[in-house]
Amino acid sequence: MKARIKITLKNGVLDPQGKAIGNALHQLGFDSIGDVRQGKYIEIDMRETDKAKARAALDDMCKRVLANTVIENYDIELDGE
């Protein structure tokens, strides 16, 4: 079962990487963009076949390793959802 995890900064948290990307895009002539926020995308192949157990394990992974829950949100998507 494939899991897709999107990790983004919480609203109100400064995003210097997003700001740098936005500045670079503007310098290259892409003037129609507004704010840019940068995040992480992670794919994990799970051996677990039970979706509830897989989601619980992924949630634990995000809280303990993958995301800094003080400043980041995460969203888990499993195949078929």
Whether the model clears a pTM of 0.85, i.e. scores above it, the answer is: yes
User: What does the alpha-carbon distance between residue 36 and residue 17 come to, in Å, rounded to a whole number?
Assistant: 9
The domain segmentation of the chain, as residue ranges, is 2-78
Q: What are the residues whose beta carbons fall under 8 Å from the beta carbon of 66, sequence distance 6 or more?
A: 5, 7, 40, 42, 74
Under CATH, domain 2-78 is a member of which superfamily?
Phosphoribosylformylglycinamidine synthase subunit PurS (3.30.1280.10)
How does pLDDT run across 6-46, given as a tens digit for each residue? Answer: 999 999 999 999 999 999 999 999 999 999 999 999 999 99
pLDDT band at 80 (very low <50, low <70, confident <90, very high): confident
